[in-house]
Chain A
Amino acid sequence: DIQLTQSPSFLSASVGDRVTFTCRASQGIGRYLAWYQQEPGKAPKLLIYSASTLQSGVPSRFSGSGSGTDFTLTISSLQPEDVATYYCQQLTSHPYDFGQGTKLAI
C-alpha cells in the first residue's frame, strides 16, 4: 500500500501569511493526488485534484504543486476562514488512503 506522510501535523500562522503544507508518498504516484479541507463537524471539501488543478469555486489563493512523491499545498494569503484540517489523498490505486492531516490555526 502507498503511505502518505503530511508535515507538519500542526501549523499556526497569521492572517495574510503564505502557508505551505507538504505531503510525501512512499512511492511514486504521478500526479494522482488530491487535497481536501475539513472544518470541524463538516464533511471534507475538495480543493485540488490532479496535484495542481483547482476545484471549481475554490478561492485562487489555494494552489497545489508536485509530482511523483513530493507534493505541496499553498495558501498565498491566509484568511480567517481557512482554519481547518487539510488532508492529501492518493488516487493512483486502492486503497485510496489519506495522509494523517495538518491542522491549521490562526
Chain B
Amino acid sequence: QVQLVQSGAEVKKPGASVKLSCRASGYTFSNFYLHWVRQAPGQGLEWVGMINPSGVSTRYAQNFQGRVTMTKDTSTSTVYMELSSLRSDDTAVYFCARTSWFGEFSHWGQGTLVTVSS
C-alpha cells in the first residue's frame, strides 16, 4: 500500500534552516507529484509547493519563494523540503502529500512538527 513516512520533529532557532524528508513506498515514485502543505497551530492548511519526481521541476507558493527548496533522491524514493531563514511564524506541522490521477492529494504523510523558538 502507498505510504509516505516523514522525518521526526525539529526544534530550530530563528534564522536557522530545517530540512524535512518524506520517503515514499508502495508505488512507482516517478509517476506522481509530491506536495508539501503546512498547518500552523490552530490554523488551516497552507500549500507550500510541489516537486515532480520524474523531472526537475518545482513550484513554490509566493509566500515561500526564495526561502524554500524542494529536492528528491530517486534512489531512495525520498523528497526533501528545506526552509531557510526560519521565523517564529514558521512553527507548524508540515505534511507531504502525493497526488493521484486528477491532481487530488490522495495520500498524506503523518506530518512533522517544526518549532521555531529562541
Q: Which residues of A contact B (CB under 8 A)?
A: 1, 32, 34, 36, 38, 43-46, 49-50, 53, 55, 85, 87, 89, 91, 94-101
Residues of A within 8 A of B108 (CB): 43-45
- Is the beta-carbon distance between A98 and B102 smaller than 8 angstroms? no
Is the Cβ of B47 less than 8 Å from the Cβ of A95?
Answer: yes
A43 and B110: CB pair below 8 A?
yes
B46, B104, B109, B111: the one within 8 Å of A98 (CB): B46
Q: B104 near A34 (CB under 8 angstroms)?
A: yes
Interface membership of B11, Cβ < 8 A: no
A91 engages B106 (CB within 8 Å)? no
Do B104 and A43 touch (CB < 8 A)?
no
Taking CB atoms, residues of chain B closer than 8 Å to A44 are 37, 45, 95, 97, 105, 108
CB-CB < 8 A to A46: which residues of B?
104-106
Interface flag for B59 (CB, 8 Å): yes
Decide if B102 touches A91 in the complex (CB within 8 Å). Answer: yes
Closest to A44 in B: B108
Interface of A: prevailing SS: loop
Question: CB of B44 within 8 A of chain A?
Answer: yes
Complex Cα spacing A98 to B105, Å: 12
Is the C-beta of B62 less than 8 angstroms from some C-beta in chain A? yes
User: Chain B residues near A55 (CB, 8 Å)?
Assistant: 104, 106
User: In the bound complex, do residue A50 and residue B102 qualify as a contact, i.e. CB atoms below 8 Å apart?
Assistant: yes
- Among B35, B47, B103, B105, the residue within 8 A (CB) of A36 is B105
10 A-B contacts (beta carbon < 8 Å): A34-B105, A44-B108, A45-B108, A49-B102, A49-B103, A91-B104, A95-B62, A97-B46, A97-B47, A101-B44
In the assembled complex, the CB of B23 is this many whole angstroms from the nearest CB of chain A, namely: 15
Residue of A nearest to B111 (CB): A43
Which chain A residue shows the least CB distance to B105? A46
Known A-B contacts: A1-B62, A44-B95. Give 10 more (CB < 8 A).
Answer: A38-B45, A43-B110, A44-B108, A45-B108, A87-B44, A89-B104, A89-B105, A95-B47, A95-B62, A97-B46
CA distance A49 to B45 in the complex (A): 17
- Judge if B61 is at the interface, Cβ distance under 8 Å: yes
Are A94 and B103 interface neighbours, CB within 8 A? Answer: no
